[in-house]
Amino acid sequence: MQNSQGKVVVITGAAGGLGSALARSFARENCRLFLTDKQGGGLTEVIGELRKDGATVAGKPMDLANGGTGKIIDQAFQEYGRIDTLVNNAGVSRAKPFWDLTEEDWDSVLDVNVKALFFALKTAAKYMLPHGGSIINIASVAGRLPRPTLLHYAASKAAVISITRSAALALADNNIRVNAIAPGMMDTEMFHTLRSDLQESSTGSAAGQPNLSIIPLGRIAQPEEIAATAVFLASDAANYITGQTLNVCGGICMS
């Protein structure tokens, strides 16, 4: 990342496969990090690993489904006195057949993937007003393609893409760039859990099954490849990019 020394980067969902890869990638760019995740033990492990490698890292566990998103961003600002980049990575998903979806299923996904994402974005943008900044939302190609066994998750990620566009326009005058990344299949615990759920479901349709044959590049992504895209979008090299959703999916979705 050009001119990244000392920049403050906030990452939600930082204890998971992609979240920890994001944290390591930004730490290598000499950024100061504030990390949060609902998994306190995993978060402590990631923070300890990064500090051992010499990174400047702070953080606090938080279940974003229970509100308080703004407060965790406030704490990041109190820690460092500024916020330069927010990576809205926290997300939840479980596969479920169309006919079995309940209101509780919808609430659990939308509370984290949409509501928490928006209020983190809004609070971080407030702190970026004096100097500008970059906000990166982790969407999914599921937000662009039909997913009959992930309908609520796909809808939430379509909302992330829409929020990214609207927020980019709302914040452009303040030199705050808002972009999204839409990964495809990725080698993380979430992907393997979803795959297991679908394989065990007696009602899941064949159309909902993960199918590696649809990936033109012939493999699933490594989290580090998604993290590299986030580092680019936060960098000065991406200063003229806003309102975009970059598909990092091996060619599953082409735009």
Mean pLDDT of the chain: 91
CB 150 within 8 A of CB 190: no
Per-domain residue ranges for the chain? 8-248
- Per-residue pLDDT, averaged over 99-110, amounts to 96
For residue 197, name the pLDDT band (cuts at 50, 70, 90).
low
Indicate the pLDDT class of residue 194, thresholds 50, 70 and 90. Answer: low
Answer for the pair 206, 214: CB distance below 8 angstroms, yes or no: no
Q: How far apart are CA 108 and CA 86, in angstroms?
A: 22
Distance CA 172, CA 230 (A): 19
- Given a contact cutoff of 8 angstroms between Cβ atoms, the answer to whether 163 and 152 are in contact is no
Residues 107 and 126: their CA atoms lie apart, in Å, by: 27
- Convert the pLDDT of each residue in 226-251 to its tens digit: 999 999 999 999 999 999 999 998 88
pLDDT bin (cut points 50, 70, 90) of residue 206 is very low
What per-residue confidence (pLDDT) applies to 205? 47
- At 68 the pLDDT is 85
Q: Among 198, 215, 216, which Cα is nearest to 207's?
A: 198
Q: How far apart are CA 24 and CA 16, in angstroms?
A: 12
Name the nearest CA neighbour of 39 among 68, 62, 64. Answer: 62
Tokens of 88: 């809205």
Report pLDDT for 201.
Answer: 56
Position 2 scores a pLDDT of 55
pLDDT at 3: 65
Task: State mean pLDDT over 96-113.
Answer: 96
Residues in CB range of 24: below 8 A, 6 or more apart: 50, 224, 227
Q: Average pLDDT, stretch 133-154?
A: 95
The one catalytic residue among 80, 127, 153, 240: 153
Task: Specify the pLDDT at position 4.
Answer: 72
Active site residue 153: yes
pLDDT at 202: 47
pLDDT value of position 210: 59
Write the CA distances from 90 to 33, 64, 251, integer angstroms: 16, 8, 24
Fold (CATH) for 8-248: Rossmann fold (3.40.50)
Tell me the C-alpha distance between 176 and 186, whole Å: 29
User: How much is the pLDDT for 254?
Assistant: 86
Which pLDDT band holds residue 255 (cuts at 50, 70, 90)? Answer: confident
